[in-house]
Structure 1
Amino acid sequence: MKKITLSLAILAAVASVNAQKINLGKAAGVVSKGAQALTFSNADAIRLSKESVDYMDKNNPVAGPKDPYTVRLNKLFAKHKSQDGLNLNYKVYKVADINAFACADGSVRVFSSLMDIMTDDELLAVIGHEIGHVKNEDTKDAMKSAYLKAAAMDAASSASNAVATLSESQVGKMANAFLDASHSKKQENQADDYSYDFMKSNKYNVVGAYTAFKKLALLSEGGTAQSKFQKMFNSHPDSNKRAEAIKKKAEKDGLWKDPGTVSIPTTKLTK
């Protein structure tokens, strides 16, 4: 099975560190102004997202139903398969990357290495953030951009303003382009707000969102791999500042509890 690098800055939060390589190639062609007029509906975003995720599921080592990672994820999110009007499905990719992502079709994919360094509360916050990107239709925008790149569309090919059927190789390029996409600072902040409200409304420990961002800040400090990680977040709000924003909200709501010193675990949290 092919090993893949998913270098998307997720959750506003996570990206590839010491990553494995995905054999999808670079998206071909330059998107013209004519292609930008393409009519792209929610239904298009959902269909193309499903095609992309199906492709990635086939080209990734996916944790089985009895795998400890799957058991842990199901324990945390079984009751959130229907969340805020969204139908969600969850799987774990057993890869070295520290990452997670969500798509317009409701697919949520979490990487085992992310689960190794995050507590249950932190995972809830991270995935809540990803759900926020779906709910706010940020993933629709990312998928439209990825589709245009994968189809190498120009003014002539977009004349019908309709979404065309892609070949398997184009689907692979689309998946790669989607994972290389990043959300705006505004979109990330809105997803942070969604994550906090998700934690609060479900009576989870909102401090988990704070400590998750503190860990991401630690990952972005020092070393060659970490400097590459940090470079990917030039378009994202600073993780320490985002942690402080969570702290202020928690203090205002009377939910703040000092977690003490935050550090990266050296042993796996999934048993």
Structure 2
Amino acid sequence: MIRIALITLSLSSVSAATLAQGNSSLVQAGMELISAYTLNDAQVASVAKQAVQQMDAKYPVAAANDPYTLRLNRIVARHQKVGNLPINYKVYKTADVNAFATADGSVRVFKGLMDLMTDNEVLAVIGHEIGHVANRDSRDAMKAALKRSAIRNVGASQSGVIGQLSRSQLAGMTDYIVGASFSRKQETEADDYSYAFLKRNGYSVMPLASSFEKLAQQGGSGGPAFLSTHPDSKARAQRIRDRARSEGIAR
């Protein structure tokens, strides 16, 4: 009910302003606001794909024959799809300790994280990030970011429609992707997804715990977005270890 009221109010404001000023850009911005509230999964994936393409142009991407690419390809060789979603992997050759996955199936791993982690720890982190996609956290966060962008555009009388975002709008989306944060519940569920993913595919779950322990040693600075608002990495690692012991798969 609140969403409907907000959309109606925004459209009414846009329509009144348009009648008074003849400003067509306000109509377009108003339609963008409505679209942001009614986006389907395919549209969110399309926006995510546009944003990632811009990021791939911004960050130094490891070439196909680069040792980092070859290592990542080896790590994820068995995991080219998650459910029905094809996954595309790339390495950003920057020192940041980070990784992310987006609603279109793009997974990007930063060189700094690969330098810090073993192969199985990298896979555990990727499992966590894909968990946010599988649990639709990434979709919902992207929709929220698009709503905020649309509302700003209404206020600023800017043009542009969802699906064909301007360069400046895409820049906002790329900032969101790198710095995205999720609720504690969403983080726990993504941890559980990675745990189940590792277990289901015959890997040890312990690298998930040790990845958190390594990130805890980073002191919370320069760490991946999924830890930025939840610095209790040691507690998360202990939770994984306790669960593994309770299931008899670790001492």
User: SS of the counterpart of 1:254?
Assistant: coil
Q: Letter of the aligned partner of 1:252 in structure 2?
A: S
With the length of structure 2 as denominator, give the TM-score of the two structures: 0.78
Q: Letter of the aligned partner of 2:91 in structure 1?
A: V
Shift of 1:230: 10
Q: Letter of the aligned partner of 1:80 in structure 2?
A: H
CA distance 1:164–1:62, shift in 2 (3 Å): closer
2:243 aligned residue = 249
Larger radius of gyration: 2
Q: Letter of the aligned partner of 2:232 in structure 1?
A: D
| 1:64 is the counterpart of 2:63 | yes
CA distance 1:98–1:230, shift in 2 (3 Å): closer
1:203 aligned residue = 202
User: SS of the counterpart of 1:92?
Assistant: strand
Question: Is contact 2:127–2:194 with CA below 8 Å preserved after alignment?
Answer: yes
The structure where helix makes up a greater share of residues is 2
User: SS of the counterpart of 1:65?
Assistant: coil
Q: Letter of the aligned partner of 1:254 in structure 2?
A: G
Shift of 1:99: 0.3
Residues 1-271 of structure 1 aligned to structure 2 (within 5 Å): 35=33, 38-151=37-150, 152-154=152-154, 163=162, 165-220=164-219, 226=221, 233=227, 235-236=229-230, 238-256=232-250
Question: Partners in 1 of 2:52 and 2:226 — Cα distance?
Answer: 22
- Structure 1: gaps (5+ residues): 1-31, 258-271
User: SS of the counterpart of 2:194?
Assistant: helix
How many residues are paired up? 217
- Structure 2: gaps (5+ residues): 1-29
CA distance 1:69–1:35, shift in 2 (3 Å): same
Shift of 1:156: 10
Question: Is contact 1:142–1:178 with CA below 8 Å preserved after alignment?
Answer: no
Shift of 1:58: 0.8
Question: Partners in 2 of 1:232 and 1:123 — Cα distance?
Answer: 14
Aligned identity (percent) is: 48
Cα shift readout 1:216-238 (whole Å, capped 9, x = no counterpart): 111126xxxx3x76999564261
Question: Partners in 1 of 2:219 and 2:52 — Cα distance?
Answer: 28
Shift of 1:177: 2.6
Shift of 1:175: 1.2
Shift of 1:171: 1.2
Question: Is contact 1:38–1:163 with CA below 8 Å preserved after alignment?
Answer: no
CA distance 1:195–1:64, shift in 2 (3 Å): same
With the length of structure 1 as denominator, give the TM-score of the two structures: 0.73
User: SS of the counterpart of 2:50?
Assistant: helix
Question: Is contact 1:128–1:194 with CA below 8 Å preserved after alignment?
Answer: yes
CA distance 1:203–1:233, shift in 2 (3 Å): closer
